[in-house]
Homo-oligomer: A and B are copies of this chain.
Amino acid sequence: MSLDAVLARIDADLPAATDRLLELLRIPSISTDPAFKADCDRAADWLVADLTSLGVETSKRATPGHPMVMGHVAGEGPHLLFYGHYDVQPVDPLELWDRDPFDPQVEETPKGKVIRGRGAADDKGQLMTFIEACRAWKAVQGTLPCRLTFFLEGEEESGSPSLVPFMNDHKEALSADLALICDTGLFDSRVPAITTMLRGLLGEEITITGPDKDLHSGMYGGAAMNPIRVLARILASLHDETGRITVPGFYDRVPEISDELRAQWEGLSFDHKAFLGDVGLSELAGEEGRSALEMLWARPTCEVNGISGGYAGDGFKTVLPSKASAKISFRLVGSQDPLAIRESFRALVRGMVPPDCSVAFEGHGASPAGSFDTTGPAFEAARAALSEEWPDPAAYIGCGGSIPIAGHFQQITNTTPMLIGFGKDDDQIHSPNEKYDMESFHKGIRSWARILDALT
Contact with B along A232-275 (1 / 0, CB 8 A): 11011111000000000000000000000000000000001001
Known: A211-B281, A307-B308, A319-B306. A222 touches B286 (CB 8 A): yes
Residues of B within 8 A of A314 (CB): 32-34
Distance of A158 Cα from B311 Cα, bound (Å): 13
A306 touches B301 (CB 8 A): no
User: Of B220, B233, B299, which is within 8 A of A222 by CB?
Assistant: B299
User: Of B238, B296, B310, which is within 8 A of A306 by CB?
Assistant: B310
Residues of B within 8 A of A144 (CB): none
Residues of B within 8 A of A213 (CB): 96, 279-280, 428, 431-433
Residues of B within 8 A of A308 (CB): 307-308, 312
Distance of A137 Cα from B232 Cα, bound (Å): 54
Closest B residue to A282 using CB positions: B356
Interface residues on A, range: 35 or more
Residues of B within 8 A of A215 (CB): 279, 430-431
Q: Which segment, of A51-59, A397-405, A447-455, faces chain B?
A: A397-405
Query: A283 contacts the other chain (Cβ, under 8 Å)?
Result: yes
Query: A201 contacts the other chain (Cβ, under 8 Å)?
Result: yes
User: Of B236, B305, B312, which is within 8 A of A235 by CB?
Assistant: B236
A306 touches B312 (CB 8 A): yes
Residues of B within 8 A of A364 (CB): 315-316
Which residues of chain A from 301 to 334 have a CB within 8 Å of any chain B CB?
Answer: 301, 303-321, 324-327, 329, 331
B401 touches A216 (CB 8 A): yes
Contact with B along A415-430 (1 / 0, CB 8 A): 0000000000100111
Known: A272-B223, A308-B307, A317-B89. A331 touches B301 (CB 8 A): no
Query: A15 contacts the other chain (Cβ, under 8 Å)?
Result: no
Most B CB within 10 A of own CB, among A218, A284, A329, A428: A218
Distance of A90 Cα from B313 Cα, bound (Å): 9
A239 to chain B, nearest CB (A): 7
Distance of A231 Cα from B236 Cα, bound (Å): 8
B281 touches A159 (CB 8 A): no
Query: A1 contacts the other chain (Cβ, under 8 Å)?
Result: no
A283 to chain B, nearest CB (A): 5
Closest B residue to A211 using CB positions: B279
Known: A222-B296, A232-B232. A301 touches B32 (CB 8 A): no
Query: A205 contacts the other chain (Cβ, under 8 Å)?
Result: yes
Which residues of chain A from 354 to 384 have a CB within 8 Å of any chain B CB?
Answer: 354-357, 364-365
B317 touches A310 (CB 8 A): no
A367 to chain B, nearest CB (A): 12
Query: A212 contacts the other chain (Cβ, under 8 Å)?
Result: yes
Query: A165 contacts the other chain (Cβ, under 8 Å)?
Result: no
Residues of B within 8 A of A356 (CB): 276, 280-283
B316 touches A221 (CB 8 A): no
Distance of A235 Cα from B331 Cα, bound (Å): 25
Closest B residue to A330 using CB positions: B221
Most B CB within 10 A of own CB, among A225, A280, A305, A313: A305
A162 to chain B, nearest CB (A): 14
B331 touches A280 (CB 8 A): no
Query: A74 contacts the other chain (Cβ, under 8 Å)?
Result: no
A219 touches B159 (CB 8 A): no
Query: A113 contacts the other chain (Cβ, under 8 Å)?
Result: no
Residues of B within 8 A of A236 (CB): 229, 232-233, 235-237
User: Of B158, B239, B283, B354, which is within 8 A of A316 by CB?
Assistant: B158
What are 20 A-B pairs with beta-carbon distances under 8 A?
A212-B279, A213-B432, A213-B433, A214-B432, A217-B329, A217-B430, A219-B401, A221-B303, A222-B400, A226-B303, A228-B304, A229-B238, A232-B236, A236-B236, A281-B356, A304-B310, A305-B316, A308-B308, A315-B364, A317-B430
5 closest residue pairs by CB, A with B: A218-B401, A212-B280, A32-B315, A306-B310, A232-B235
18 extra A-B contacts, CB within 8 A, seeds A228-B304, A318-B430? A33-B314, A210-B280, A210-B281, A211-B281, A213-B279, A213-B431, A216-B401, A219-B296, A220-B296, A221-B329, A222-B295, A223-B286, A229-B235, A229-B236, A229-B238, A281-B356, A282-B356, A310-B327
